[in-house]
């Protein structure tokens, strides 16, 4: 495993398990078990996913000690504001059956994000959360956040070879903010697994195109959190630390950028208004 050092001194593995849309207890238990069996130590969830309780129970029932793994969760924009953000974090702690959260994110930019961030900083001072971060923030929003207080340790963005966010990633690197990729495999859409360049390079290393996509992101200093319910896929996703792409191969994959998104952009004003409070 490769580890990335955060700007607050903590560190995270280069790859973790995403849990979006895992809402069945048995599915979560099996995913967590398979993850631990294959060396995962980082689990990403969110209040919005409505599965923190399932993840918390699965982790609690595992033979692992709390210090053996990291949990990341998020606060939704409708819970921004001093009292609401405290309530959201406290609810997450209870659902996850833990007395601390390793990384807490603002899930999107939204009204009262400044008040939420101050709560994050306060909980960090108390040791209730170890690191504070954001999701889906663009450069303008990050600049606005920088005027309020502490710098976030990471920005979680929809990112994969077909949606690379290169300018924003450069900004994050320059500011020592880890880029974390959600949907790092583009949900298998747009024919990404049949892309000729990925297929050609994958044959050289006897790896799958999906493994190539994950390895490429990690080599550009991006943490990835692929989600899967399947034991074989969970194992395959983490089996990417026994080879290294050449500079030429990195550039070939970089050439695949199509700016294709399957979600909302950080600057989608209609979406931000929909999920926030007027």
Which are the catalytic amino acids? 49
Cα–Cα dist 20/183, whole Å: 10
Residue 210 near residue 4, CB atoms below 8 Å:
no
SS3 61: coil
User: Alpha helix (H) ranges present in 2-49?
Assistant: 25-37
DSSP state of 163: B
Beta bridge partners of 224: 15, 181
Residue 100 near residue 127, CB atoms below 8 Å:
yes
SS3 235: helix
Residue 200 near residue 211, CB atoms below 8 Å:
no
Beta bridge partners of 135: 156
Cα–Cα dist 263/245, whole Å: 29
Block residue for tokens 């849990």: 19
Closest CA to 74 of 26, 126, 110: 110
DSSP state of 151: P
Block residue for tokens 């080599």: 219
Cα–Cα dist 260/107, whole Å: 21
DSSP state of 15: B
Block residue for tokens 């294709």: 260
């Amino acid at each position: 495993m490769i580890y990335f050092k955060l700007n607050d001194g903590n560190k995270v593995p280069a790859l973790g398990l995403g849990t979006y849309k895992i809402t069945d207890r048995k599915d979560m238990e099996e995913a967590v078990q398979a993850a631990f069996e294959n060396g995962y130590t980082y689990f990403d969830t969110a209040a919005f996913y409505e599965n923190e309780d399932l993840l918390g129970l699965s982790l609690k029932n595992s033979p692992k000690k709390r210090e053996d793994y990291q949990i990341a969760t998020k606060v939704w924009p409708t819970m921004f504001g001093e009292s609401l953000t405290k309530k959201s974090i406290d609810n997450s702690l209870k659902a996850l059956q833990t007395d601390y959260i390793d990384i807490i994110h603002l899930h999107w930019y939204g009204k009262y994000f400044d008040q939420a961030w101050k709560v994050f900083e306060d909980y960090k001072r108390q040791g209730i959360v170890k690191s504070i971060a954001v999701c889906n923030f663009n450069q303008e929003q990050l600049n606005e956040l920088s005027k309020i207080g502490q710098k976030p340790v990471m920005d979680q963005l929809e990112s994969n070879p077909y949606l690379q966010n290169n300018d924003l990633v450069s900004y994050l690197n320059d500011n020592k903010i880890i880029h974390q990729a959600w949907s790092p495999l583009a949900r298998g859409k747009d024919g990404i697994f049949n892309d000729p360049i990925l297929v050609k390079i994958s044959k050289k290393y006897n790896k799958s195109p999906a493994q190539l996509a994950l390895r490429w992101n990690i080599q550009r200093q991006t943490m990835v959190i692929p989600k899967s319910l399947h034991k074989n896929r969970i194992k395959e996703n983490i089996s990417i630390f026994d080879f290294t792409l050449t500079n030429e191969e990195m550039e070939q994959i970089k050439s695949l950028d199509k700016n294709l998104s399957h979600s909302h952009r950080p600057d989608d004003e209609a979406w931000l208004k929909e999920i926030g409070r007027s």
